[in-house]
Amino acid sequence: MRYNKLGWSNLIVSEVALGCAQFSAQFTKTQKTEADMIAIMHRSLDLGITMWDTAPSYGNGMSETIVGKALVGRRDKVVVATKVAWGHAMPEMVEESCDASLRRLGTDHIDLLQIHWPSDEEPNELTIAGVARLVKAGKVRYAAVSNFKQDQVELAWCVYPVASNQLPYALVWRYDEPLIQYCGEYKIGVLAYSPLGEGILTGRYDETTTFPSGDVRNHCVFFLPNVMPLALKVTAALKQVADKHEVTPAQVAINWTARRSNISSVIVGSSSIQQVEQNASAVDWELDDDDRALLLAASDEYMATAPTFRTMWDR
């Protein structure tokens, strides 16, 4: 496992971070017990994954609660990243959200508190001011944002320096590359989420795949009938590279994202011990120039032919 400095901050984050959204009834696609989820988190730490990313909205606090239980006896080994709850834009509401997260996480501080989504109703400057107040109070080490566009990052920075911006980034989602370059120029870390395109890049699905009612992938753009055949061409390129290196397509996709310029860490969820082991080892080897050229060509074709969406769930 490699480690990177998160932007201008003093936080050191593992190249692969553990996404904890699935540790809740809202997101989990398999029947996992609480003990199973905690075991996955503990195994991730054994493998060198030292950053865990969660949010109040994941299972209405369930994810944070389970993360808190997994942190017992291990708090000093983990960079804990969570978010300001949706709808908590005003400074006093930011503190309420943070205090609730601290209780669920069972800790006296949060390493990275991110504004989950920019608000369309309240000035985002007020929200970042609320997070800044928590940094000064010692409840939060660093302020950060998530899903912010460049002008929103600039406005936030005018109020208080943000350590990172969490953005979707994958071979099938490269809309934010100019923003990622901007963040790199101004020493703002980038946490890349959904490097597997919500699963389409794992190689496990084809055009006959259906999901049960309530599965979040039913709302994902990559599984639309007019998009999936295009995305599967990228998956085919991943399989070609995976066979060459004797790894999985998912590991190739994670490696590609992790090694792109200005990416501090790639956030990947894991639903089993085996999966977290595969995700951790995805960065233990190198793509060569031919691999990168093949993948980039497939990605370029997808980006040129697929419909444009605002988000991965914009249906």
**What amino acid is encoded at 81 in this protein?**
A
Whole-angstrom Cα distance, residue 26 to residue 117?
A: 19
What integer pLDDT is reported at residue 314 of this predicted model?
Answer: 76
Which pLDDT value is given to residue 26? 60
pLDDT tens, residue order, the chain (315 aa): 999 999 999 999 999 999 999 898 765 556 678 999 999 999 999 999 999 999 999 999 999 999 999 999 999 999 999 999 877 888 899 999 999 999 999 999 999 999 999 988 888 999 999 999 999 999 999 999 999 999 999 999 999 999 999 999 999 999 999 999 999 999 999 999 999 999 999 999 999 988 888 777 888 999 999 999 999 999 999 999 999 999 999 999 999 999 999 999 999 999 999 999 999 999 999 999 999 999 999 999 999 999 999 899 876
- Please state the separation of Cα 92 from the chain's center in Å: 27
Question: What is the C-alpha separation between 267 and 209, in angstroms, rounded?
Answer: 25
Q: Which two tokens stand for residue 219?
A: 């709302």
Residue ranges per domain, the chain? 3-199+249-284
pLDDT of amino acid 191: 98
Task: State whether residue 74 is helix, strand or coil.
Answer: coil
Rounded Cα gap, residues 102 and 158, in angstroms: 27
Helix (H) / strand (E) containing 79? strand 79-84
So what's the pLDDT on residue 28? 59
CA–CA gap between residue 188 and residue 264 (Å, rounded): 9
CA 176 to CA 149: how far, in whole Å?
Answer: 8
**φ, ψ of residue 33 in degrees (nearest 5):** -85, 165
Q: Which two tokens mark 133? A: 């107040």
58 as an active site residue: the answer is yes
pTM: 0.95
Helix (H/G/I), strand (E/B), else coil: 51: strand
Overall fold of domain 3-199+249-284: TIM Barrel (3.20.20)
Check residue 30 and give its pLDDT: 61
Which of the following is catalytic: 3, 58, 142, 205? Answer: 58
Could you tell me the two tokens for 48? Answer: 């060198």
Phi, psi of 210 (to 5 degrees): -130, 155
pLDDT of residue 87: 78
Q: What is the pLDDT of residue 210?
A: 87
Give the long-range contacts of residues 271-278, CB within 8 A, separation 24 or more. 271/22, 271/28, 271/29, 271/30, 271/32, 271/40, 272/30, 272/40, 273/39, 273/40, 273/43, 276/18, 276/40, 276/43, 276/44, 276/47, 276/49, 277/43, 277/47, 278/248, 278/250, 278/251
Instruction: Give me the pLDDT at residue 121, please.
Output: 81
